[in-house]
Structure 1
């Protein structure tokens, strides 16, 4: 799925593309909550070629779990992770 700014990705609205690495791309986005409440977030999305690689997905989930335990001003906090439309 080719994403672009303005698209809705799960509960998030994509604001701008930030970059792409070897295994994932990042987006500036906002969480869209009830009654129009929004929160700025960063989305790290696995590239399509890895979306069905169970070993990679397992590693990605482990990274998210470990990152969710960290709390430091220079480390992005993990609030959520999962699949959107099978990706």
Structure 2
């Protein structure tokens, strides 16, 4: 499993590559990098709504009152992503 591939795909907004990695069970959705960041966090931070939606539907964690949940909400590049997180997940 190439974690760098997952993280880079989330940062770039390559939803097709993210889907491929997830569907082939090549990645753990809630894995952390050396900065303690998750793929969902990077998708939120970089403003890739389609990747955010896909990760959430696939089981990425974003719970209310947790470090990860708050980090994703406050790090979201766009209000649309923030609203998705707050409305449906946090």
Coarse TM-score class (shorter-chain normalised): under 0.3
Flag the structure with more relative contact order, 1 or 2, with Cα contacts below 8 A and sequence separation at least 6. Answer: 2
Structure having the larger proportion of residues in helix: 2
TM-score when scaled to structure 1? 0.25
Q: Which has the larger radius of gyration?
A: 1
Structure having the larger proportion of residues in strand: 1
